[in-house]
Amino acid sequence: MGAGWSLKGSRRPGSSDPSGRGGRWLLLGAVLATALVVGAFVVALVLGRLAASSQAAAKQHSNVLRTSAKLLVEVEGADSGQRGYLLTGNPSYLQTYTLVQADIPRQVDTLDALTGKTEQPQVDRLRILVAQKEAALARSIEVRRTQGMAAAVALADGDRGQVLTDQITAIVLPLVQDSQQQDMSSDRAAGRAGTAVLVAASVGVALAVGLLVLLIWLIAQRWRLATARRDAEHARDQLLKSLSQQATHDALTGLPNRRLVADRLEQALLRREPGRLVAVMYIDLDGFKAVNDQYGHARGDEVLLRAARRMRAALRPADTLARVGGDEFVAVCEGLTATEEGHAIADRLRRSAAHTLNDELALSIGASVGLVFTAPYEPSTPDGAQGRPVRLAISQLDLDAAVEDLLTSADDAMYEAKRQGRGRLAVYDVAMAAARHGRREDAAALRQAFDAGHLWVAYQPMVDLGTGEVLGVEALLRWTDPERGPIPPARFIATAEDSGLIQPIGEFVLRTACEQVAEWNTLREATGRPPLTVSVNVSSRQVSRPDFCGTVARTLAYGRLTPDLLCVEITEQVLIDAVGAGTAELEQLSGLGVRIALDDYGTGYSSLSHLHRFPIDVVKIDRSLVAGLGHSERDEALVSAIIGLARTLHRQPVAEGVETAAQASLLRAWGCQQGQGFLYAEALAALDLEAFLLRRGAGAAPLPSPRSTPAPDRSGRDPAEAEPA
């Protein structure tokens, strides 16, 4: 408890950030994309520059042509109609020459300034070339430098002009063609470069777009991942929160659970101040089971919830109320100055719970409260004073023990409150712990006895009060301890019920009795005597088992006993405890043909409505009333009234504890025909009962049989020895 346990949800340490690696990849991708985009741009730029320069060259070339044409005009004073020949060459591309034959235009615009940077050797070469070949033919040949170009110009008239033209052509054409070819190839190169640029640019753009898309996709992925992670974290936090809530709270009422109340109690013990008390209350709702059974679980939950709310409201805000079981609660109140304060709170609590349920349903429901206080904290006083449930100590182990002690003590007190009757408040004292230990030991001893076969079934004859004829038997459980001797049922039936052992033990009694009586009846058949009936006592815990009826039916079938020969004896407490589910079981049982007896009638409730609401066949008048016959007018009045009531309601009255003939005759006179008691016989071991029957019925008595003694595996010794004299 407490230690190492925290209410807070915690993140798993060392859980790696799943997006860390993704982030690095993303960064790498982004850098790569940027590099690629930049690279593509650089390539495109270089190619663009190349293309631009070749374009510029081409442009320059045409500029030169134009310029040269103007030059021609200028040189000759250019009459219109004259023919001029122009030879140009681009010195940058040493062998690029172009021959242009042009009609000199009539009007020439202002000539451009001809300031070229053509290197002299090129110009000279051109001039020489032309001059050498056909200088004579030319009226004038002039070579000038133009802007970046050399131009040779020849003017000629008439036929000479034609000849000159032809000659110049002959010289220059191959050069021109060559240059043209070069131009073309350079054009192609430029075209290729252009295409390359286009392709590169397209690829670059495509790549850039692709990368951009990739980048966007990656960012989107990352964002989605981050969102998903955030969602997952949120869900995890919620889960942790709800798990922590579940681990510490009750789902139905939302109240703290046992674990949390133990933790709170621990804190309260640690916080204790001198002279202050801590009170622990254990609350158990009385009769809640009936609500569940009769109204269903949904209604039961509702009632529980309301009871919880009311109890919560009855406490002070700082107090803790926890639900620690189906209908069990624990309250912890600290800082009390006197026990009276705790009593008052406990009483408020008790009344608040009871009030709710009574308000809600017309059922007698209450709350039993057990109360325990811690000893006042006196730092100077040594620990371990007698009867103090809590020793103040610092170690966690001692704290845990103190908390457990307090809860157990409060539970013990609650048990005592229940034992005293419902709706009570009991304050813990040490004797209760002893009682609990005693109960625990008793249960262990009973279990051992059952396993060892020390439990066996005795049979008390039930007789016709008029004739004394044995009509049936009541099966009564016996415990004979090899050392302690016989232990009366009054001492161990309650233990069996508390511990749940009544379940297997009850089935053992039912099975043994049915088989035994069926066997006797088989033997009686030959004598012509009517079969014996068998009455078996069953407790509330047995009846409220869902398959009780099935168990009875199977036992009857197995023992080959007809249902009408079995009578199940229940007390009124069964009707009260198992009012819902039990009713159905009883109806079913009655439907099987099994008879039902209301035991110990006349003590406790003796409710008229129980008698006529439930399928009761037999009313067993309690032996304490029968004992009063002959000397208690009150008992006589009661017994005669019960007999009258039973007969009126068509229930058969049966008297228990008939010890005298006078009692028998009184009972008979009032109309009670059947009874049992020491007057006839006490509860006998099977073998003794057979002897008894033999004595009674002379020749008609059954023969002894192997089954007439308790089964050796169930009883280690002759049960007859254990019978009280």
CB of 534 to ligand C2E, least distance (A): 11
Convert residues 195-214 into a mask of x (bound to ligand C2E by CB under 6 A) and - (unbound). Answer: --------------------
Closest alpha carbon to 689 in 385, 478, 480: 478
Residue number with CB closer to ligand C2E (354 or 475): 475
Report, in Å, the least distance between residue 602 CB and ligand C2E. Answer: 11
Size of the site for ligand C2E (CB under 6 A): 24
- Give yes or no for a contact between 300 and 292, defined as CB atoms under 8 angstroms apart: yes
393: number of CA atoms within 13 Å, CB side?
A: 15
Amino acid found at 54: S
Q: With the CA atoms of 249, 255, 258 and 260 taken in that order, what torsion angle do they form, in degrees rounded to the nearest 10?
A: 70
Q: Enumerate the β-bridge partners of residue 332.
A: 280, 320
On whether the CB atoms of residues 353 and 311 are closer than 8 A, the answer is yes
Contacts of 335 by beta carbon, 8 Å cutoff, 6+ apart: 273, 276, 278, 318
- The CA distance from 221 to 216, in Å, is 8
Q: Minimum distance between the CB of residue 478 and ligand C2E, rounded to whole angstroms?
A: 7
Q: What is the DSSP letter of 86?
A: E
State the number of binding residues for Ca ion (CB under 5 A): 5
Indicate whether 539 belongs to the interface with ligand C2E (CB under 6 A). Answer: yes
Residue 578 within binding range of ligand C2E, rule CB under 6 A:
no
Interaction with Ca ion in 646-685: which residues (CB under 5 A)?
A: 656
How many helices and strands in the chain, by DSSP H and E?
21, 18
Residue 713 dihedral angles phi and psi, to the nearest 5°: -75, -20
In angstroms, what CA-CA distances link 136 with 82, 132, 156, 174? 19, 9, 11, 22
Provide, rounded to whole angstroms, the least separation between the CB of residue 454 and ligand C2E.
14
Residue 585 sits in the site that holds ligand C2E (CB under 6 A): no
Stretch that binds ligand C2E, among 14-22, 80-88, 91-99, 654-662 (CB under 6 A): 654-662
Question: Given candidates 352, 512, 537, 709, which one binds Ca ion under the rule CB under 5 A?
Answer: 537
- Between strands 328-336 and 366-373, the pairing is unpaired
677 binds ligand C2E (CB under 6 A): yes
Q: Is 7 exposed, middle or buried (0-12, 13-18, 19+ CB in 10 A)?
A: exposed
Q: How far is the CB of 306 from ligand C2E (least distance, A)?
A: 35
Q: Which of 183, 411, 599, 688 binds ligand C2E (CB under 6 A)?
A: 599
Which of residues 68, 320, 460, 663 is near ligand C2E by CB under 6 A? 460
The yes or no reply on residue 416 touching Ca ion (CB under 5 A) is no
Question: Judged by CB under 6 A, which stretch of 358-366, 436-444, 553-561, 676-684 contacts ligand C2E?
Answer: 676-684
Question: In whole angstroms, what is the distance from residue 326 CA to residue 258 CA?
Answer: 12
What single DSSP character describes residue 93?
G
Question: 129: Cβ–Cβ under 8 A, 6 or more apart, which residues?
Answer: 152, 171
Binding of ligand C2E by 600 (CB under 6 A): yes
Q: Is 253 in the site for ligand C2E (CB under 6 A)?
A: no
Instruction: Determine the distance from the C-alpha atom of residue 290 to the mean position of all C-alpha atoms in its chain, rounded to a whole number.
Output: 29
- Whole-number Å distance between alpha carbons of 319 and 644: 55
Q: Provide, rounded to whole angstroms, the least separation between the CB of residue 493 and ligand C2E.
A: 5
Give dist(CA 690, CA 532) in Å, integer: 12
Q: Which is nearer to ligand C2E, 155 or 722 (CB)?
A: 722
Residue type, 333: C
Among 29, 335, 489, 615, contact with ligand C2E (rule: CB under 6 A): 489
Q: Which of residues 573-612 bind Ca ion (CB under 5 A)?
A: 599-600
Q: Least distance in Å: CB of 385 to Ca ion?
A: 47
What CA–CA distance (Å, rounded) separates 60 from 160? 32
The span of 42-50, 162-170, 440-448, 533-541 binding ligand C2E (CB under 6 A) equals: 533-541
> Out of 142, 360, 659, 718, which residue is the one contacting ligand C2E (CB under 6 A)?
659
**Out of Ca ion, ligand C2E, none, which partner does residue 167 contact, by CB within 5 to 8 A per kind?**
none
Report the C-alpha gap between 386 and 106 in whole angstroms: 143
Which residue in 40, 152, 493, 578 binds ligand C2E (CB under 6 A)?
493
- Cα–Cα distance measured from residue 87 to residue 695, given in angstroms and rounded to the nearest whole number: 165
Q: Which does 91 bind (CB under 5 to 8 A by kind): ligand C2E, Ca ion, none?
A: none
Binding mask 230-249 for Ca ion (x = CB under 5 A): --------------------
Q: How far is the CB of 490 from ligand C2E (least distance, A)?
A: 6
Residue 569 found at the interface with Ca ion (CB under 5 A): yes
Rounded Cα–Cα distance for residues 444 and 501 (Å)? 10
Pick one of 353, 476, 642, 689: the residue that binds ligand C2E (CB under 6 A). Answer: 476
From the list 503, 506, 518, 509, the residue with the least C-alpha distance to 558 is: 518
Shortest separation between residue 620's beta carbon and Ca ion, angstroms: 5
State which of positions 629-648 bind ligand C2E (CB under 6 A): none
**Comparison of 515 and 569: residue with beta carbon closer to Ca ion:** 569
Alpha carbon distance 697, 248 (integer Å): 69
Task: Round to whole Å and give the CA distance between 683 and 402.
Answer: 49
Interface segment toward ligand C2E; rule CB under 6 A; list 19-27, 223-231, 355-363, 650-658: 650-658
Euclidean distance between CA atoms 225 and 514, whole angstroms: 73
Contact of residue 659 among ligand C2E, Ca ion, none (CB under 5-8 Å per partner type): ligand C2E
Sign of CA dihedral 694, 700, 705, 708: negative
Assess 515 for contact with ligand C2E (CB under 6 A). no
Q: Does 518 bind ligand C2E (CB under 6 A)?
A: no
Window 112-171: residues binding ligand C2E (CB under 6 A) = none
Amino acid identity of residue 488, one-letter, is P
Residue 509 binding ligand C2E, by CB under 6 A: yes
Residues that bind ligand C2E (CB under 6 A): 460, 476-477, 488-490, 493, 506, 509, 537-539, 569, 599-600, 623, 656-659, 676-678, 683
Residues that bind Ca ion (CB under 5 A): 537, 569, 599-600, 656
